[in-house]
């Protein structure tokens, strides 16, 4: 038996003056100064009904009341239930017009146009699919849970073809859909507000802080599929395992590369030892000319570069001072990059 994507909680009818309910201030008011058992239980009930309260505020409140949570099973159970509600996610798979497919774990939704409110608790929202189509009936809407997939193809500036598939099987195509926001909900004061954007993490690469605009014009050419909880968690588990394997392979490659660099550095020290010993014993004022090695496209006058000297052999500029040699002149190319060095034993 499949688990449902959301646990629906009906928001009570509120007056127009209560429009500040869904705000950061209202979340803070739920928990401020609540320390006794009865106050904490009251705060939990307040948070359960406020979709602006997300998992972060629950964890913070739990931490602030850690002693009470540890000592009281009722409080611990109530907070666990609240944490479960706030952690529920919506999983949306979408195919881009060019064919690439992404999975978004929706962590918040933005409600309203002029001053959007960010809501984190998708479980307590009765999000509706509002196709604004004669095919559905004027003013009709459908619970989001009943929508399986949709695709909008823009045909003109403000209209296009909208095809919707439903969980229970039927598919409806509206050839003259009026563009606009496809999802909405009834907010405080029974005011219908558009859901303008989903925010969350996208896979397969686990890119955080992404968003999906929900205006039908912005979604032209997209195919959106709303997954069940089992499907979404299954995909995320698969992608997380893939990412973990890639990270493991990357770490191993870095370890091997570091070991190879260490061995190469040790060999280089052994190779240069007799060269530097001879340069250290060279008589004062002895001279040599050296050609700069390495990437010819590295410009300028580096202080650390491999050089090949006519008599001494291949060393590094940084080695000169330690054996008593100095650069006395340089030859640059037309671009101003040093290509030749003239060195002399100075001590």
Nearest alpha carbon to residue 231 among 31, 33, 52, 92: 92
d(C-alpha 299, C-alpha 295), whole Å: 9
Give yes or no for residue 198 having a pLDDT over 90.
yes
d(C-alpha 50, C-alpha 67), whole Å: 25
Last-in-domain residue among 87, 108, 131: 87
What is the 8-class DSSP label of residue 93?
E
* pLDDT tens-place string over residues 112-165: 887 788 888 876 678 888 875 555 555 567 888 899 999 999 888 888 899 999
d(C-alpha 217, C-alpha 152), whole Å: 8
Provide the residue range defining the domain that includes 59: 16-87
pLDDT at 245: 96
Measured from the Cβ of residue 78, the count of other Cβ atoms closer than 10 Å reads 19
* pLDDT greater at residue 240 or residue 86: 240
- Taking only Cα atoms into account, the Rg of the chain, rounded to an integer number of angstroms, comes to 33
* pLDDT greater at residue 264 or residue 335: 264
Is the preceding peptide bond at 5 cis, omega within 30 degrees of 0? no
* pLDDT tens-place string over residues 58-94: 888 888 888 888 888 888 898 888 888 887 889 999 9
d(C-alpha 45, C-alpha 287), whole Å: 85
Phi-psi region of 345 (alpha: psi -120 to 50; beta: other; left: phi over 0): beta
Name residue 323's beta-bridge partners: none
Last-in-domain residue among 87, 113, 148: 87
Same structural domain for residues 82 and 162? Answer: no
| Candidate from 36-50, 83-97, 144-158, 177-191 with smallest mean pLDDT | 177-191
pLDDT at 116: 81
Measured from the Cβ of residue 335, the count of other Cβ atoms closer than 10 Å reads 8
Last-in-domain residue among 87, 113, 135: 87
| 309 sits in which H/E element | strand 306-309
Cα–Cα distances (Å) from 267 to 208, 260, 322, in that order, read: 44, 11, 19
Tokens of 205: 């690469």
pTM higher than 0.75: no
Same structural domain for residues 285 and 344? Answer: yes
pLDDT at 123: 67
Q: Which residue has the tokens 């037309």?
A: 334
Residue at 11 is within a domain: no
d(C-alpha 179, C-alpha 183), whole Å: 12
- Number of domains comprising the chain: 3
CB 239 within 8 A of CB 227: no
């Amino acid at each position: 038996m499949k688990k449902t994507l959301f646990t629906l909680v009906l928001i009570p009818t509120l007056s127009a003056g209560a429009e500040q309910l869904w705000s950061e201030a209202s979340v803070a008011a739920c928990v401020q100064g609540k320390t006794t058992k009865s106050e904490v239980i009251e705060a939990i009930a307040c948070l359960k009904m406020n979709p602006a309260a997300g998992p972060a505020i629950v964890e913070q409140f739990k931490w602030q009341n850690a002693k009470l949570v540890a000592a009281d099973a009722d409080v611990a159970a109530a907070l666990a239930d609240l944490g479960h509600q706030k952690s529920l996610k919506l999983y949306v798979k979408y195919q881009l017009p060019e064919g690439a497919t992404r999975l978004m774990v929706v962590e918040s939704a933005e409600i309203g146009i002029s001053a959007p409110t960010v809501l984190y608790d998708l479980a307590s929202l009765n999000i509706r699919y509002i196709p604004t189509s004669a095919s559905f009936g004027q003013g009709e809407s459908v619970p989001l849970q009943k929508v399986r997939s949709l695709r909008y193809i823009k045909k003109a500036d403000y209209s296009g073809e909208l095809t919707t598939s439903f969980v229970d099987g039927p598919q409806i195509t509206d050839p003259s859909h009026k563009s606009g926001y496809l999802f909405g909900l009834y907010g405080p004061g029974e005011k219908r507000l558009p859901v303008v954007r989903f925010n969350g993490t996208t896979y397969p690469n686990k890119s955080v802080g992404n968003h999906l605009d929900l205006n039908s014009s912005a979604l032209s050419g997209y195919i959106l599929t709303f997954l069940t909880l089992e499907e979404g968690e299954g995909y995320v588990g698969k992608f997380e395992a893939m990412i973990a394997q890639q990270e493991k392979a990357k770490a191993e490659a870095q370890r091997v590369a570091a070991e190879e660099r260490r061995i190469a550095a040790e060999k280089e020290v052994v190779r240069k030892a007799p060269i530097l010993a001879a340069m250290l014993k060279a008589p004062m004022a002895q001279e040599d000319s050296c050609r700069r090695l390495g990437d010819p496209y590295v410009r300028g006058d580096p202080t650390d570069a491999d050089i090949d000297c006519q008599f001494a052999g291949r060393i590094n500029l940084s080695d000169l001072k330690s054996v008593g040699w100095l650069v006395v002149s340089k030859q640059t190319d037309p671009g101003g990059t040093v290509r030749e060095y003239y060195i002399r034993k100075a001590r």
